[in-house]
Each structure stands twice: as structure tokens, then as C-alpha cells.
Amino acid sequence: MDHHHTPAIFVADAPGLDFLNSIATPVDKPVDWINDGEGLLNWLEQAGLVPAAAAAAVRDRATPGELDDVAAEARQLREWFRGFVDERKGRPLTSDDLSELKPLNRLLERDQRFSQIVSQHHDGVLHLELRTSRHWRTPESLLQPVGEVLARLVCDEDFTHIKACEGHTCTLMFADHTRGRARRWCSMAVCGNRAKQAAHRSRLKT
């Protein structure tokens, strides 16, 4: 399955977990949406983490090898952070867990963010707004919005409610924001439906 043409999966209800879900098995074969530099750019655009104009500028300036190297870094980051989440999902984070986040803090240190005053007109009235933006000078800058959503996951989500889909072969994770925290599946339409069909077949057999 060509990851460049398969729409990425965004079911986690938390952008940091959507990044972990950028490798998944939607049907029967695993798909890695950030398998190469072009895949990384496409995934970041689909996720809304990099503006289309910035992605185009990075694509124009970078050599294919440079983008592929950054995609490899993104995959390493994904596997490291998946391990961090896997070990801690279902329980609150503690101060001891913070010491494990040094690689993420090192990534965030490299960010090139800046703020600018921009004007907006609403109903003929001028409004001034302070907007944060980012320099997209190098392919490495593509990792910054990923680092940011991972950091937000750590700071804003209660890890007690981070779950793995109960689907038999599913690898997707999600933040359970439902009332009563009763969510069990990445998607009722896919894994939930499969489980219902399996239960139905099992009842027919008995």
C-alpha cells in the first residue's frame, strides 16, 4: 500500500498520539506514513502541523537525501516516544518520568520561533494580534511541531486515560475523552465493528 496516497489516520483525539499512529495496519499490511522525506512532509501537512507554503519551501530547498534523513529522525523519535507512552499509559505521570524526557527537551531547545504583530479587520474595525510563527530554514525544522505536540501530550493529557485500541491486531492509541471513559476502540467503524462481528460469530457457534 502506497503511504503517499493512503490518507493518514487521525483518530487519537490528541495530536501527539496521532504522530505515534503514523505507523499502523489499517487493513492487513503495516503502512508507515513517514517512511521517507516526502511521506513526512505529506503527513505533517495532513496533520495541520506545517503550513503548505512552508512545506513547499522546505521541499524546494532540501535535497531528497536531507528530507529522508529527517524522516529517519522522526521515526526514531516516534519509536522512543511510543516506548515512553506504552510504559506509562493508564497511570498518572510522576516527577520520575520527567527525567526520561530529556531527548524531547533537547529537540525543543532547537526551535526557531518568533512572534509578530499582525492586523485583522473585523466589521471594519482594526484588531491587532500577536501571532507566533516559526522559521522553516532547514529540513530539521520539520521536527519542531512534532516535538511541540509530544510535549503538549505530556503536559496536557492525563496519561490515566491514554489507551491502546482493544482490536486484535490494532496498534493504534488514543486519549479517551468520552464521558465515563468507556472508549475501547480506535474507531467503532473499524475495530469496534470487527469485534461485534466476531462476537456475533462466536454466539452463532455456541
For domain 15-205, the CATH superfamily is: Jann2411-like domain (1.10.3300.10)
Neighbours of 152 (CB within 10 A): 13
- Asked if residue 9 has pLDDT above 90, the reply is yes
Residues 6+ apart with CB under 8 A from 127: 119, 120, 121
Count Cβ neighbours within 10 Å for each residue of 35-70 and write b for 16 or more, e otherwise.
Answer: bbbbbbbbbbbbbebbeeebbeebeeebeeeebbeb
pLDDT, tens digit, 9 for 90 and up, residues 30-67? 899 999 999 999 999 999 999 999 999 999 999 889 99
- Asked if residue 196 has pLDDT above 80, the reply is no
The predicted model scores a pTM of: 0.87
Highest-confidence range of 25-29, 170-174, 186-190, 192-196, by mean pLDDT?
Answer: 170-174
pLDDT at 170: 87
CA distance 39 to 32: 8
Cell of residue 119, nine digits: 492586523
pLDDT at 199: 58
- Asked if residue 28 has pLDDT above 80, the reply is no
